[in-house]
Amino acid sequence: MATPNGIYRNGVPKGGSTSIKVERPFALNSNVKSSNNKSKLTTSTSNLRRSSPGSLCGGNTTIKDDSGVPGRVRVAVRLRPRNGEEMVADADFADCVELQPELKRLKLRKNNWDSDTFEFDEVLTEFASQKRVYEVVAKPVVESVLEGYNGTVMAYGQTGTGKTFTLGRLGEEDTAARGIMVRAMEDILADVSPEVDSVSVSYLQLYMETIQDLLDPSNDNISIVEDPRTGDVSLPGATLVDIRDQHSFIELLSLGEAHRFAANTKMNTESSRSHAILMVNVRRSVKGREAAISSENGNTSHLVKNSKPGVVRKGKLVVVDLAGSERIDKSGSEGHTLEEAKSINLSLSALGKCINALAENSPHVPVRDSKLTRLLRDSFGGTARTSLIVTIGPSPRHRGETSSTIMFGQRAMKVENMVKIKEEFDYKSLSRRLDIQLDRLIAEHERQQKVFRDELEKIAAEAEDRVSVAERKYSEALENERLQHQKDYKESIKKLEEQWALNQQKRDKENKDLEASREGPSAAASEEIAELKQLLQNEINSRKAAEQETNTVKAQLAQWKRSEAAGNTEILKLRKMLEEEAHQKEKLEEEITILRSQLLQLSYEADETRRSLDKGGSGNGFTGLDSLVSQVRQSQLNGSGNGQKGSIAKLFEQVGLQKILTLLESEDADVRIHAVKVVANLAAEEANQEKIVEAGGLTSLLMLLRSSEDEMIRRVAAGAIANLAMNETNQELIMSQGGISLLSITASDADDPQTLRMVAGAIANLCGNDKLQTKLRAEGGIKALLGMVRCAHPDVLAQVARGIANFAKCESRAATQGSKSGKSLLIDDGALPWIVQNANNEASPIRRHIELALCHLAQHEVNAKDMISGGALWELVRISRDCSRADIRTLAHRTLTSSPIFQAELRRLRIDC
């Protein structure tokens, strides 16, 4: 427990006493199978709220003991109305479900004459309002959270059935469309007191088994911490925001939704690719607690009364918007979207296993199989009050997914939680009162210290005055004595100088007499002695020079002998190294010969496989190469466990990736072609992409794209780069190594549709990265895409349209987040005329991407005038009316109605949207 001013350490107060927690059970219904078996129980506490009989979690029970009471998970089912696509495709077929809301039953048709019947706590038709859904599903849970309990509201169902609409709809345009999140916060803020209570919010997403903070995108790997003593799960690394009003909460939800991962699939235009988790922590103070703790005679001292802590109730509301389950063959997921779908289905499967284990009272519940189940361990089989809403669709095409969703809800109804209320003494307020008393005592102490310091300063000043007077008198006496000594010193010096002058005159007179007596015979002897000394000194110098020269010659001779010995040794070493190099060269030549033969065989097998696939009509491969790796994997799945590996995998294991990449620089053109085919097929597997990049494969592919003049090599290299460009890290590497410039040059030089399709696919993948948009446009990426429309091949145009849609979507997201202003770069580069021209293209892939690009461009108000002048407004009106896909039609309609400029132009033209 965190406490102010350091009064507590590691959850224990300084004095050895521990914080006291009070847990009381909340009265809930026990597990009831149907409405006929409901027991009539009475409540024994008057301070607990009662839910209405029609609510999911309603009912009155009696509190049993402090260990908690059983409360079953309440489940409601909500039917989504048919969308535009289902109205056309399933017009001749009846709905696969029949609702009986008055009996709280649902019938799932097997065929025209047989059906299965299921009972739920609440059955909501397609006409049920958002307010009705909130009142029967979430409001009882919100009331429990305000009383100090943990609560969970979760939505489960197939993708596209309305989970996010039910939970997270903001309702900014229409308040009646507000979802559970907004309505729950409105009730919480209306019930709490801002002076003594607090409400804080965290908004997260579980994406690819990593917990990411939607309020702080840089915080993308939050760890789960479990208390070993109580088993409670917490996320200490998540951003926690205090909420004071409803407007700030809606802005927070909008920011989180902008950072949430979504993708366009055949099932849903904006399909959520992550589980969104909203955590609301409510802290409320219980009034009147101190008045109840008093002595019988009423003489309790003021200090004792102030030391009694109040009581705080803490409740946590968790709202979980699960990502929709989906079948790959129906959603059409591929590439990274396919990996996202696999991760979503695995986490939902782990949740289903936990629900089954709890429903069957299994001794082992596999909560650690997924981070989702670890986060929800308190919601299923824990101490939280849980409501689950399952969403289904009416289409008979999805009857299997609808049946699976219904069975999930049926199993969840069998799960019981032990619901508890959590109270704890408010030591924080007590600490604040003690801090006030401590501050008062400190102020009094400081006042007394100030008086004492003033007295000390007065005494010190008087002492300093006395010391200064004594020092002045001492310095004057010292100066007088110094002047007297200086005067005596000068007089002594003067006397000594006079005595020295007399002595000097006497010595000079004596020296003159002595020199006059010695001057005759000694002058010649002195000259001869000086000459002998000079000759002796010259002889000594000559001898020293000869000795030095002799020593130098000896040292040079020894050095020459050592150099000769070292040279002989070095010659022997060089001869041995030459022999080893010759032997190594022979071995490398043998290995190169073997590799060439293996590459030739592999190329032959790849060409044979491509021809067989072309004959069979399979032409949907992304890279333009026939993926031998995919064929090998399929043969392994269909064959026995000890079957032989594919030829590419065998070559990869036996030869090694580094040697294969080395052959990309071979002088033999055939060897280079076969080597780049092998690398391209290996790059089709996501598991190999990281190895290829680490080994320098990306650099080698870009070098081939720059230097090779062979059309086949450039086509295959561009396909391999397109596969590597599906990874965000690889995208940044491609851009940093000038990849977009090389792709643009290749696009301008190539005429083959297949080569252009590979290049357009690679650029389209790079267009989906928010961080690279400015650099991609600066290096000619957008102009290269628009330049490739000259080919007019449908596959090339589809990739160009996909790239433009990705670029427009990133621009729209950046404008919403406030990181971009100004007109779209696509409009600046002249892409709008081509977009308008192909908005109603006969090819469905081209048309779908262009329609999405128009909707995203229209969401930024600064683009509106250019779109009106370029004729895009007419296409938006057509899309909002005639588009075959309901989600795109709805998006276009919402964009038109939210733009003041578009609305003004439509009124001028007298067009009703």
DSSP-based three-state secondary structure for 838? coil
The answer to whether 325 and 348 have CB atoms below 8 angstroms apart is yes
Burial of 395 (0-12, 13-18, 19+ CB in 10 A): buried
Tokens for 767, please give them: 């267009």
Instruction: Tell me the torsion sign for CA atoms 361, 366, 367, 371.
Output: negative
Q: How far is CA 326 from the centre of its chain?
A: 24
The answer to whether 80 and 392 have CB atoms below 8 angstroms apart is yes
- 332 appears as a binding residue in the annotation: no
User: How far is the C-alpha of 892 from the C-alpha of 474, rounded, in Å?
Assistant: 101
- 164 appears as a binding residue in the annotation: yes
* DSSP states of 647-696: HHHHHHHHH-HHHHHHGGG-S-HHHHHHHHHHHHHHHTSHHHHHHHHHTT
- 402 appears as a binding residue in the annotation: no
Q: How far is CA 18 from the centre of its chain?
A: 38
- 739 appears as a binding residue in the annotation: no
At residue 286, φ and ψ (nearest 5 deg) are -95, 120
- 895 appears as a binding residue in the annotation: no
- 148 appears as a binding residue in the annotation: no
The angle, 0 to 180 degrees and rounded to 10, between the axes of the packed helices 246-259 and 794-817 is 150
- 163 appears as a binding residue in the annotation: yes
Task: Provide the phi-psi class of 310: left if phi over 0, else alpha when psi is between -120 and 50, else beta.
Answer: beta
User: How far is the C-alpha of 595 from the C-alpha of 671, rounded, in Å?
Assistant: 9
User: How far is the C-alpha of 733 from the C-alpha of 722, rounded, in Å?
Assistant: 13
User: How far is the C-alpha of 552 from the C-alpha of 535, rounded, in Å?
Assistant: 27
- 158 appears as a binding residue in the annotation: yes
User: How far is the C-alpha of 822 from the C-alpha of 780, rounded, in Å?
Assistant: 19
The answer to whether 456 and 48 have CB atoms below 8 angstroms apart is no
The angle, 0 to 180 degrees and rounded to 10, between the axes of the packed helices 180-191 and 246-259 is 150
The answer to whether 189 and 245 have CB atoms below 8 angstroms apart is yes
Half-sphere exposure of 205 (CA within 13 A, CB side): 24
Nearest alpha carbon to residue 139 among 88, 174, 95, 191: 191
Burial of 132 (0-12, 13-18, 19+ CB in 10 A): middle
User: How far is the C-alpha of 53 from the C-alpha of 39, rounded, in Å?
Assistant: 13
The Cα angle at residue 392 between residues 418 and 335, in degrees rounded to 5: 100
DSSP strand pairing (122-124 vs 74-79): parallel
Please report, in range form, the residues annotated as the binding site.
157-164
Please report, in range form, the residues annotated as the binding site for ATP.
157-164
